[in-house]
Chains A and B, each alone.
Chain A
Amino acid sequence: EAGVAQSPRYKIIEKRQSVAFWCNPISGHATLYWYQQILGQGPKLLIQFQNNGVVDDSQLPKDRFSAERLKGVDSTLKIQPAKLEDSAVYLCASSFSEGASYEQYFGPGTRLTVT
């Protein structure tokens, strides 16, 4: 079974530029998550989708971050404009459905460096 795919793996941009990340979840997984992991910290949930609807985006900085999951499969996360503090690894995860019983499977992440 193919795992969660993310691209690009690495991205370097200057502050105030925009950037987009792509995630393809495991086939058949209805729930998709985006996490931000700053160096030395644990991942922090940014947004959770159930199919193409948003379940939780309470920690998403909506003035600069946006995410969508068209057709309930692939998802993109965008940052515009980027700030230095956005430097982090952005992890995508998916699970079969929402709920505590369903294990989350993580992709390799995209490492973003903002200079």
Chain B
Amino acid sequence: KQEVTQIPAALSVPEGENLVLNCSFTDSAIYNLQWFRQDPGKGLTSLLLIQSSQREQTSGRLNASLDKSSGRSTLYIAASQPGDSATYLCAVSGGITGTASKLTFGTGTRLQVTL
């Protein structure tokens, strides 16, 4: 059974700091990995999707890397802003027992960026 772990569970940083969020998964037979953002009381917004054959994806100040063999991904946020405050969720699809589109989520990292 695929298990996804995110560390840390919560993080508070001052505005302007660069930060890294970590995600690990137990079954390396994945199809892809996604990073989502969730604001309080709202649904999920997809930030980056990395296919299993890729090593990283970039969007603006966000960069996500994937090391499939070691079961790890990192989300790097450059020059953090108060508007980045949200919960960040990592999800993987596939695995031995999963379909290609079935997502297994981590519990998230709650990020607060202070002024």
Chain B positions within 8 Å of A, measured between CB atoms, are 4, 31-32, 34, 36, 41-46, 49, 51-52, 89, 91, 93-94, 99-108
Contact B51 A100 (CB under 8 A): yes
Contact A48 B43 (CB under 8 A): no
- Closest A residue to B6 by beta carbon equals A42
- Closest B residue to A43 by beta carbon equals B105
Chain A positions within 8 Å of B, measured between CB atoms, are 4, 31, 40-45, 48, 55-56, 91, 93, 95, 98-109, 111
Q: Is the interface of B mostly helix, strand, loop or mixed?
A: strand
Within the assembled complex, what's the spacing in Å between the Cα atoms of A43 and B41? 14
Within the assembled complex, what's the spacing in Å between the Cα atoms of A100 and B99? 9
Within the assembled complex, what's the spacing in Å between the Cα atoms of A4 and B45? 12
Contact A56 B102 (CB under 8 A): yes
Q: Could you list 25 examples of A-B contacts with CB < 8 Å?
A: A4-B43, A31-B101, A41-B107, A42-B4, A42-B89, A42-B108, A43-B105, A44-B105, A45-B102, A45-B103, A45-B104, A48-B99, A48-B102, A93-B44, A98-B99, A99-B101, A100-B31, A100-B51, A100-B52, A100-B101, A101-B51, A103-B49, A106-B45, A108-B41, A109-B42
